[in-house]
Structure 1
Amino acid sequence: MQLLNLDDVARYVEDNIGVFHQKRIDSLARLRLSNVLKRKNPYLFRAKNVQTAEQIVRGILEAHISSNEETLFGDWLEGLAIFINGKTYGGWKSGIAGVDLEFDKDGCRYIVAIKSGPNWGNSSQIGQMRTNFKTAQKTLRTSQSGLHVMAVNGCCYGRDRNPDKGDYLKLCGQRFWEFVSGDADLYVELIEPLSFKARERNDEFQASYSRMINKFTREFMDDFCNEEGAILWERIVQLTSAQD
C-alpha cells in the first residue's frame, strides 16, 4: 500500500470536476418539455392546486435535475474512488459486468460495485448485483485457481451499521473511503477539493436553468393553456395517459 497524497486528489478534482458540471448543463440542453411532462403525474399537480405554467415547469425541472445530478455525481465519484484506489492499492477499473473496481489486498481480490448512497436500489436491483458478484467470482476463480475473491458494495456516502450481508460486504461513507484509500479521514478531507470553482460552475448552470425555465414556460403556455391563460388539464392528461 502507498500512502495517499491529498495533492494528487486535489489535482484530479481540478482536472475532472468540470466534466460533472458540463454534463449537468448538457443534460438540461437535451431536455424536451413533452418528454419530461409525459413522465409526470398530472393528477398530483391538479390535487396540489398548481395554477401556473411556471409552477409546473419548475416542478418537473427540479425533479429531473435532482434525480439526474445524483446519478451524474455518483458516476463522477466512482471515477474518483478508482483513481484513489489506484494510487494506494494499485486498483483498476474492472472489465467485468456489474463490477466497477478490482484490487488486491492482503492476499484477497476485492471486486467492488460502487454506488452513490446506501439506498440506491430495490430488491430486484440488489438481487442483480448479487448475481453479478457470483458470476464475477466464478470467472476469476476459474482463471486463477485458488484466488480468494471478496465482493463489496461501496457507497460514497451514508451509513450501514451491518456491513456483513453474508455473500458480500456493504461499506458506506467513512468505511468505504477508508477501504479504498487506507485513510480513515479521507471522507472528510474530500470536501474541500470538491469545492473547486463551484461558484463559477454553478453560476453557469443557473444561467442555463433560467433560460430553460423561460423556454419551457413559453412552450407550455402555447401547448397547454387557452387564450386566457388557464391550464388545459385535459390536454395534459391526454399527453401522459391516452393510448397511442
Structure 2
Amino acid sequence: MIEQQLRNYVECNIADFHRKRIASLDGLKLSKVLKRKNPYLFRAKNMLTAQGIVRALVDAHISSNEETIFGDWLEGLAIYVCSEIYSGRKSGITGIDLEFDKEGIRYIVSIKSGPNWGNSSQIKKMISDFNSARKTLRTSNSTINIIAVNGCCYGKDNTPDKGSYFKYCGQQFWEFISGNENLYINIIEPLGTKARQRNDEFVELYSKMINRFTVEFANEFCDEDGTILWEKLVKFNSEKRI
C-alpha cells in the first residue's frame, strides 16, 4: 500500500474517533456510572473524597468506552487497507467483518482489537460464526476454498494455527491483509494528526465534568462535614425496588 494513501485515510477519518470519544463523555450522567461500579471496592480502598470516587468512576468509563470506539475505528481502517490491496469488503455474513480473495482462497475474518478479547464462550461463538459462514458461502460454490481468520489489530500470538481457524495479531495481521510487513508501524505516525488539538478539547470537557460530578456527589452522598455516606451510596447502587 502506498504510504500516502494510508496517511490520507487516517487523517481524514481519525476525527470521527475523537468526535465519538467527546460525544460519549458529553452525554455521561453521574447516576449512570454510579450504578455500574462496585461501591464496596471504593470502601475497601478507603477512598475518602468525593473527587477521588468521581475520578475513578469517570476514568473507568472512559477506558472501557475508548477501547470500543477505537476498536471499531481500527476495524474500518483494516477493511479499507484490504479493499485497496485485495479488493476486500465488509462482509454481510453474521459475525464476519471482512472477506477477501487471495491466491485462490476466500478469507473470512473476524477483527478484534487485541489478542485477549474474549472468554471461552465468546471464542466458541466466533468458531460457530465461522462454520455458519462456510456453509453460507458454499451454497453458491461448493468447491470454494475458505480459510477463517481471527485478526487482532495489536499484540502477539506465536501459535496462529488454532485448528479450525488462524489467529493473526499485530504485525502479522496487518501484513496478512496488506502484504506489507511494515504497515503496523506506518499506521502510528499519522494517528497523531490533530491529536493534541482534539485532546485539549477532551481534557477541558473532562475537567468540567469532574468538577460538576464532584459537587453533585457531595450534595447527594456526603453529610455536612464532608463525610461520605456509604450506606446511602450502597442503597442507591444496590437496593432492590419495592
Smaller-chain TM-score bracket: over 0.9
The CA distance in 1 between the partners of 2:146 and 2:221, in whole Å, is 57
Question: Which residue in the other structure is 2:160 paired with?
Answer: 163
Aligned residue number for residue 227 of structure 2: 230
1:209 maps to a residue whose letter is: Y
Aligned to 1:147: 144
C-alpha distance in 2 between matches for 1:181 and 1:45:
46
SS of the residue 1:143 aligns to: coil
Matched residues in 1 for 2:5 and 2:187: separation? Answer: 12
Q: Match for 2:117 among 115, 120, 136? A: 120
| TM-score, structure 2 as length reference | 0.98
Q: 1:189: how far off?
A: 1.1
Please state whether the residue corresponding to 2:142 is helix, strand or coil.
Answer: coil
CA distance in 2 between counterparts of 1:127 and 1:31 reads 34
- Post-superposition CA distance 1:173-196 (Å, at most 9, x none): 000000010000111111111111
The answer on 1:67 being equivalent to 2:64 is: yes
Q: Which amino acid aligns with 1:93?
A: K
User: Which residue pairs with 2:24 in the alignment?
Assistant: 27
Q: Is 1:218 matched with 2:218?
A: no
* 2:204 is the counterpart of 1:183: no
Structure 2 unaligned segments of length 5 or more: list them: none
Letter in 2 for 1:108: I
Distance in 2, matches of 1:133 and 1:219, equals 48
1:172 aligns to 2:164 (yes or no): no
Match of 1:199 in 2: 196
Residue 198 (structure 1) shift:
1.0
Per-residue CA shift, 1:161-180, capped at 9, x if unaligned?
10000000000000000001
Corresponding residue for 1:107?
Answer: 104
1:158 partner letter: G
Amino acid at match of 2:206: Y
Unaligned runs of 5+ in 1: none
Q: CA deviation at 1:156?
A: 0.3
Q: Which aligned segments of 4 or more residues in structure 1 are displaced greater than 6 angstroms?
A: none
Q: Please show how residues 78-93 of structure 1 align to structure 2 within 5 Å.
A: 78-93=75-90
Distance 2:99 2:177 in 1: 10
Instruction: Report the 3-state secondary structure (helix = DSSP H, G, I; strand = E; otherwise coil) of the residue aligned with 1:140.
Output: helix
CA shift, 1:229, in A, is 1.4
Q: Which amino acid in 2 is paired with 1:21?
A: H
The letter for the 2-side match of 1:130 is I
In structure 1, C-alpha distance between the alignment counterparts of 2:126 and 2:96, rounded to whole Å: 9
**Partner residue of 1:41 out of 33, 38, 53:** 38
Question: Residue by residue, what CA displacement relative to the aligned partner does 1:213-238 show, whole Å, maximum 9, x if unpaired?
Answer: 01111110111111221111001111
**What fraction of aligned residue pairs are identical, expressed as a percent?**
63
How far off is 1:74 after superposition? 0.7
Query: How far, CA to CA, are the matches of 1:80 and 1:168 in structure 2?
Result: 22
Select the residue among 118, 129, 132 that pairs with 1:135: 132
Displacement after TM superposition at 1:32 (Å): 1.1
Q: How far apart, CA to CA, are the structure 1 residues paired with 2:189 and 2:30?
A: 36
Which of 80, 91, 94 is the equivalent residue of 1:97? Answer: 94
Q: In structure 1, the residue corresponding to 2:139 is in which secondary structure?
A: helix
Give, in angstroms, the shift of residue 145 of structure 1.
2.0
Aligned residue type for 2:68 = T
